[in-house]
Structure 1
Amino acid sequence: MATKDAYYVPHTAKWPIVGSIGLTTLLAGFANHLNGSSIGSTLMIIGAIVLVVMLFGWFGTVVAESESGTYNHQVDISFRMGMIWFIFSEVMFFSAFFGALYYARVLSVPWLGSEGTGGFAETKLIWDSFTAVWPTNGPGAVGGIDGHFEPMGAWGVPAINTLILLTSGGTVTWAHWGLLANNRQQLIKGLIATVALGFSFVLFQGYEYHEAYTEMGLTLGTGIYGSTFFMLTGFHGLHVTIGAIMLTVTLFRSLKGHFNAEHHFAFEAAAWYWHFVDVVWLGLFIFVYWL
């Protein structure tokens, strides 16, 4: 138990070991699935279920302890530092993929086309029809429909999704202002709008992927363009989904009367994460779709 003068020491918890079991089972199932084992998919489902149970149990314990007044100011600082470092790790995660896109597009492709010092003097050393232009599909008929694909344009679903995410950043900020002013109706309305916009983004991205695979010949196996496009947008879509789930939980807690103007870090953490997702999407829209 924390007091104003005592450092908080967490009690013995069973959830970390449950989470480890779930992750290990999920990984083992995935490895077996990749190697063609029939038990792989079953292990993956079991591992995923264990993880979901762990998340509900662990976060439920933290919520109950927070609402009961167990945590002191030192714990609040620890939570904030933990969330800051978590978001920093996510920044590094996406930086690696943006770096891969930069290397392939700005350095590797021009070099292979003999642009600059040290490039190949003869493109036939790669393949006869190679041209140093982006997007490139790689050698011969790799991926796509008969080796051809249509790059994803910026003005359409991507532009709509950009508007959706920018708007959601405004609605979550408006909800925060309501919380700081002890206006619970504004808090709830802002969260409902943000959650609706977040899941709308995911639905639009699903539609975009369907069009890419069925109509445009653009897949994860369509050369370096396809792999960088789907890795960046796919992982971002996963983060939008996670963020929307976080905000949904925050909405349900708000409906139950949780949070006040002085104590609401769970809301702030979800809002920080959502703004991070917004910023990453702006980078994606500019460097993946537009340029």
Structure 2
Amino acid sequence: MSAKEHSGDYFIPDPSPWPIIGMFSLLITLFGGALAMNGVSIGNFLVVAGLLMFFYLLYGWFRDVIKENLSDCYNRQVDTSFRMGMFWFIASEVFFFLSFFGALYYIRNIALPWLGGDGYLGVTNEILYHGFENAWPSHGPGELGGDFKPMGAWGIPAINTLILLTSGATITWAHWGLKLDNQKQLVNGLIATIALGVFFVILQAYEYGHAYQELNLTLETGAYGSTFYMLTGFHGFHVTMGAVMLMAILGRSMKSHFSAHNHFAFEAVAWYWHFVDVVWLGLFVFVYWL
């Protein structure tokens, strides 16, 4: 069926191979990661292959959607569907991060006090872990995670907070330029936002290296280490994906694909980027600061 064929007010796209390719790319990446973490050498190869397949997916799917948009296939109903889809996608991401924040809260405010002797379950403390102290950050009972130093809030985390807050301002500035048909402001704002996002990821990678080599803060460092890397790592992945999407939007902007009244693709990525900013503020407060 042609991409321009419609059923009533509904747009019917051509059959697409990208969901299947996406499924296999994620399966290969996760399977390879599991093998690599268990010392199987082929795991690293599978991770690289899965990621390459995933980037091919992004390129091909973006290309097809852009062609549909430029072919005037979309109407008001499609625009509404896109907005609803992006809203619910971000809503799912909110609950994704809430689950990890909830785990952090449970460990710090419920499980640790119980293991430390407080509450109605406190009587089990001497039976389970003799001498366990209710203190955060915790590396587990019996020196499970070894001696380590927690990651402080000031330094790279504070700099990264400033970077992301600035990137929220630059993408808003780019949006204003788009609404005013100011191509130069639009492009410069996107370039600045991408540069700030890439700089954020570079600093986070440096922070991880410092944590492993000098602080002995690893994934094996008890509850603190696992929650630290789970929350900050997933956020870093979201920043990386956001930067990739911004690069696609920058390329389209340089080709004048958007107008003041038709630019939902830009708005969707901007929504996502502001969501990433807000999540980082929560991470800075509850993971680094408190």
TM-score range, shorter chain: over 0.9
Aligned position for 1:108:
111
The answer (yes or no) to whether the contact 1:202–1:240 under 8 Å persists in 2 is yes
Which whole-Å deviations, capped at 9, do the CAs of 1:158-182 have from their partners, x for residues lacking one?
Answer: 1111111111101100110110011
- C-alpha distance in structure 1 between counterparts of 2:31 and 2:201, whole Å: 28
Q: Does 1:46 align with 2:60?
A: no
The amino acid across from 2:127 in the alignment is L
Q: What is the deviation of 1:81? A: 1.0
- C-alpha distance in structure 2 between counterparts of 1:165 and 1:83, whole Å: 21
Matches within 5 A, 1:164-243: 164-243=163-242
Give 5+ residue unaligned stretches, structure 1. Answer: none
Q: What is the deviation of 1:257? A: 1.4
The answer (yes or no) to whether the contact 1:113–1:119 under 8 Å persists in 2 is no
TM-score (norm 1): 0.92
- C-alpha distance in structure 2 between counterparts of 1:208 and 1:115, whole Å: 35
Aligned length: 287
Which whole-Å deviations, capped at 9, do the CAs of 1:240-274 have from their partners, x for residues lacking one?
Answer: 11111111111111111121101111110110000
Runs of 4+ residues deviating >6 angstroms: none
Give 5+ residue unaligned stretches, structure 2. Answer: none
- C-alpha distance in structure 1 between counterparts of 2:115 and 2:279, whole Å: 29
The answer (yes or no) to whether the contact 2:115–2:124 under 8 Å persists in 1 is no
- C-alpha distance in structure 1 between counterparts of 2:12 and 2:26, whole Å: 26
The answer (yes or no) to whether the contact 1:199–1:241 under 8 Å persists in 2 is yes
- C-alpha distance in structure 1 between counterparts of 2:187 and 2:285, whole Å: 32
Which whole-Å deviations, capped at 9, do the CAs of 1:203-251 have from their partners, x for residues lacking one?
Answer: 1111111111111111111011111111111111111111111111111
Aligned position for 2:122:
120
Judging changes above 3 Å, is the alpha-carbon distance between structure 1 residues 44 and 73 closer, same or farther for their aligned structure 2 residues? same
The answer (yes or no) to whether the contact 1:239–1:277 under 8 Å persists in 2 is yes
The amino acid across from 2:151 in the alignment is M
Aligned position for 2:16:
13
The answer (yes or no) to whether the contact 1:29–1:44 under 8 Å persists in 2 is yes
Judging changes above 3 Å, is the alpha-carbon distance between structure 1 residues 123 and 49 closer, same or farther for their aligned structure 2 residues? same
Judging changes above 3 Å, is the alpha-carbon distance between structure 1 residues 232 and 171 closer, same or farther for their aligned structure 2 residues? same
Which whole-Å deviations, capped at 9, do the CAs of 1:128-173 have from their partners, x for residues lacking one?
Answer: 4421111111122323xxx211111111111111111111101100
The answer (yes or no) to whether the contact 1:4–1:72 under 8 Å persists in 2 is no
Q: Does 1:137 align with 2:136?
A: no
The amino acid across from 1:137 in the alignment is H
Q: What is the deviation of 1:47? A: 2.8
The answer (yes or no) to whether the contact 1:29–1:43 under 8 Å persists in 2 is yes
Query: Which residue among 76, 86, 89 is the counterpart of 2:89?
Result: 86
The answer (yes or no) to whether the contact 1:2–1:71 under 8 Å persists in 2 is no
Q: 1:249 aligns to what SS in structure 2?
A: helix
The answer (yes or no) to whether the contact 2:167–2:196 under 8 Å persists in 1 is yes
The amino acid across from 1:231 in the alignment is M
- C-alpha distance in structure 1 between counterparts of 2:23 and 2:99, whole Å: 26
Judging changes above 3 Å, is the alpha-carbon distance between structure 1 residues 9 and 33 closer, same or farther for their aligned structure 2 residues? same
Identity %: 59
Q: What is the deviation of 1:11? A: 1.6
Aligned position for 1:56:
59
The answer (yes or no) to whether the contact 2:138–2:223 under 8 Å persists in 1 is yes
Judging changes above 3 Å, is the alpha-carbon distance between structure 1 residues 73 and 108 closer, same or farther for their aligned structure 2 residues? same
